[in-house]
């Protein structure tokens, strides 16, 4: 049975696009909805243009009331009966109340070699630490930020002269390879860690 995947974005959604573009042909999953907290997210416009269902739940009217924001997210999601959620540059922290029922069925991509550099500014932090290796990780989402079992990592060598921007761009290329590869494996029940090295 085809698995239904909800993809959450906050920005341009290039990882979402990589996932959608991979979910064709004999792929055992399809995107059923793209969800965003931001009406102006580039990923929302792209999904609409492709005829993919979208839902926007603006977090701002909810202020600090995360439970109500997450209830609205769940109400929007329920219309599309997803089996899985892929967070793809979704920049809101989800609480245990939301994550709990989805645990084991929700993935995230993060631009660092977890467990290093949870949170923001990962590229600058890797450079500041003098790391010679950097990359990205796909992991199962738990109630702890950027935590949970790691399902795949892509590594690259930090080059002389790399800046946070050049690293971000190079890591993003790897994200677009890694996330679709991990999702394909995940939906067929393979939960071991996939290790990929940049060419």
- Indicate which residues carry an active-site annotation: 110
Of 59-67, 68-76, 104-112, 183-191: span binding ligand GAR (CB under 6 A): 104-112
- Span interacting with ligand GAR, options 9-17, 126-134, 148-156, 157-165, rule CB under 6 A: 9-17
Q: Which residue is nearest to ligand GAR (CB)?
A: 89
Give the span between the Cα atoms of 145 and 87, in whole angstroms: 13
Task: List all residues 6 or more positions away from 81 whose beta carbon is below 8 Å from its beta carbon.
Answer: 4, 32
What is the nearest approach in angstroms of ligand GAR to the Cβ of residue 18?
8
- Using CB under 6 A as the binding rule, whether residue 14 contacts ligand GAR is answered as yes
From the CB of 147, what's the least distance to ligand GAR, in Å?
Answer: 11
CA distances from 123 to 63, 158, 176 (A): 29, 10, 17
User: How crowded is the C-beta side of 156, counted as CA atoms within 13 Å?
Assistant: 26
Nearer CB in complex with ligand GAR: 70/175? 175
37 contributes a contact to ligand GAR by CB under 6 A: no
Q: Is residue 19 a contact point for ligand GAR (CB under 6 A)?
A: no
Does the protein bind ligand GAR through residue 148 (CB under 6 A)? no
Answer for which of 110, 123, 134, 139 binds ligand GAR (CB under 6 A) is 110
> Considering only residues 89, 135, 148, 152, which one is a binding residue for ligand GAR as defined by CB under 6 A?
89
Q: Is the peptide bond before 52 cis (omega within 30 degrees of 0)?
A: no
What is the spatial distance between Cα 158 and Cα 103, in angstroms, rounded to a whole number?
33
164 binds ligand GAR (CB under 6 A): no
Interface residue list for ligand GAR (CB under 6 A): 9, 11-15, 88-89, 109-111, 172, 175
């Amino acid at each position: 049975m085809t698995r239904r995947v909800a993809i959450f974005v906050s920005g341009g959604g290039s990882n979402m696009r990589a996932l959608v573009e991979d979910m064709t042909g004999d792929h055992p999953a399809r995107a059923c909805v793209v969800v965003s907290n931001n009406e102006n997210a580039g990923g929302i416009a792209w999904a609409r243009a492709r005829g993919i269902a979208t839902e926007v739940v603006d977090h701002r009217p909810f202020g600090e009331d995360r439970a109500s924001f997450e209830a609205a997210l769940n109400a929007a999601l329920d219309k599309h009966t997803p089996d899985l959620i892929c967070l793809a540059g979704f920049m809101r922290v989800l609480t245990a109340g939301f994550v709990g029922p989805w645990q084991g069925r929700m993935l995230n991509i993060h631009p660092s070699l977890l467990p290093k550099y949870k949170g923001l500014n990962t590229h600058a932090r890797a450079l500041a630490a003098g790391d010679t290796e950097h990359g990205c990780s796909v992991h199962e989402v738990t109630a702890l930020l950027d935590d949970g079992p790691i399902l795949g990592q892509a590594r690259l060598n930090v080059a002389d002269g790399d800046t946070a921007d050049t690293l971000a761009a190079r890591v993003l290329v790897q994200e677009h390879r890694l996330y679709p590869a991990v999702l394909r494996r995940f939906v067929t029940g393979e939960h071991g860690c996939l290790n990929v090295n940049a060419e």
